[in-house]
Amino acid sequence: MASIKVVLRKEIKQDGTSPLAIRITKDRKTSYIYLEYSILEKDWDKENQRVRKSYPNSSRLNNYLIKKLSEATEKSLEVETLKPVVSAKAVRQKIKPKAGDTVFKQADLYIQRLKDDGKYNRWNSEKSNVKHLKEFLGSDLSFADLTQTVLKRFKAHLIAKRGVSERTAVNNWVTVRSIFSQAIAEGACEQKYYPFGKGKLQIKFPDSKKAGLTRDDVANIEAAEIERPEADHARNLWLLSFYFAGMRASDVLRLKWSDFQDGRMYYTMGKNKKGDSLKVPDEVMAILKKYEVLRDEESDLIFPELRKVGIEDRFQMERIISSRINALDRFLKDDVRKAAKIKKPLTMHIARHTFATISGDRIPIQILQKLYRHTDIKTTIGYQANFIHSDVDDALDKVIKK
C-alpha cells in the first residue's frame, strides 16, 4: 500500500519559504503533489505533519491539509483496489491529474496548446468547435458525463439547429476526440470513458466533392487579359502552383531564389517536411522572369507576401500566410475567373485539384505520390480516386449506348 504524507519540501523560494506537498511513496519510489501554500521551515511540525501555531491562520491551513490528505488517501485506496500492482506515479495521477479534470478545462488547454505549438490553421478552425461544445453543454462537466448519447445529441444539434453540414458536424466530433485523448494521456480521464472506437462512436467522413478545372480552363487562365496587377500576380501564383503538381499555396509563398538551381526546383513541403526536387518547366521560368526586376536585395524570397514580415513565431507566420492566401483567393474569384470566363470555383487550392483532374489515370500512382509529396501511397490512391472516372464512364456507356 502507498504511504501518503504531507511534507515540507527542501527547496527554498526567494522569500525564504518552502512549498508544502503531498508525498506518495510506493515500492521505494516517490512522487509529489505540490499544494497551494509555502511556509517557513520554523513554522512546520514535521512529526505531526501540521503547521505550528506561529504561522498566521494556522488552524485554517491545518484543516486544509487534513482535507487534502484525506482525499489523497481515499483516491489511493480506490486505485490500489482496482489494480493490485500500481506505481507511485499512477497514484499521483489519480489524486491530481497533470491538467484540468473537466471537459471545459481540458478543451481550453487543448486550444491553448494548438496556439503554443504554432498551429494557427487548426487553432482557427477548432476554437469554434470548442465554442459549439460549450454552448451545447451549457456548463462544465466530467468526462464520465460526456457520453456517447450526449455526443450523438451534440451532432444532431449542430446539423438541425446550426445548419452545419454532416462533414462539419463530424469535424466537431474529431475535436472532442482529440480533447479526450489529451485528457487520457494526462491522467485527467480514465480510458473506460473514451466514447470513440470499435463498438462505440465511429468517425466517418462523408464523401467530399473534389473537382478541378479542365485543360481548356487552364489555357484560358494563361491567356486571360487581366488589368489589375494584384490579380495578375494571383494568376501567376496559381499557375506556378499548377505547374508544380499542385504545390500548396503556403509553399509557393515561401519559395526562394536559392531554391532554383541548374534547372531544378528544390524545396521541403511545409506540411510534412518531405523534401525533393522537380524540373522547372519553361512556363515557370517565364513567370520567374517577371519577378526578376522586383528582386529584393535584402530578401531571398521570390514573392512579396512574406518579405519583411520578420516574425519567427510560427503561429503568427501561419496567421499571416492564411491572410495572404485569402487575399489571393479574392483576386482569383473576382478578377481572374471573370477574365478567363470560368464558371467553376477558382482558388489557390483548386490548382492542386486541377492537376489531379488532368493527370487522371495517365500517370502511375507511384509517380503521383512523389509529385504530391504524400508519405503514404494510400493517401495518393484515395486522393486521386476523386478524379478518375473513366472506368465507371465506360461501364455506363456500355449499357446506354447501342
Q: Please state which CATH number belongs to domain 215-359.
A: 1.10.443.10
Q: By C-alpha distance, which of 96, 101, 93 is closest to 179?
A: 101
| Long-range contacts at 8-12 (CB < 8 A, ≥ 24 apart) | 8/39, 8/41, 8/44, 8/46, 9/34
Q: Average pLDDT of 2-6?
A: 87
Q: pLDDT (tens digit, 9 = 90+) per residue, 383-402?
A: 566 655 555 556 556 566 65
Q: pLDDT (tens digit, 9 = 90+) per residue, 100-137?
A: 678 999 999 999 999 888 889 999 999 999 999 999 99
C-alpha cell at 119: 498551429
Query: Residue 133 to residues 68, 167, 170, 249: CA-CA distances in angstroms?
Result: 32, 16, 13, 32
Lowest mean pLDDT among 1-15, 74-88, 214-228, 347-361: 74-88
Those residues whose C-beta lies under 8 Å from the C-beta of residue 188, and which sit 6 or more positions away, are 97, 98, 99, 100, 101, 105, 106, 143
- Residue 106 is predicted with a pLDDT of 92
Lowest mean pLDDT among 2-11, 293-302, 372-381: 372-381
DSSP-based three-state secondary structure for 184: helix
Q: pLDDT (tens digit, 9 = 90+) per residue, 229-254?
A: 999 999 999 999 999 988 899 999 99
Quote the percentage of the chain above a pLDDT of 70. 81
Q: Please state which CATH number belongs to domain 103-193.
A: 1.10.150
If you count them, how many residues does the chain have? Answer: 402
Angstrom distance (rounded) from CA 295 to CA 279? 22
Domain boundaries, the chain: 3-95, 103-193, 215-359
- Residue 259 is predicted with a pLDDT of 92
* DSSP category for residue 42: G
pLDDT band at residue 187 under the 50/70/90 scheme: confident
Listing DSSP states for 55-88 in one string gives STTHHHHHHHHHHHHHHHHHHHHHHHHH-SS--H
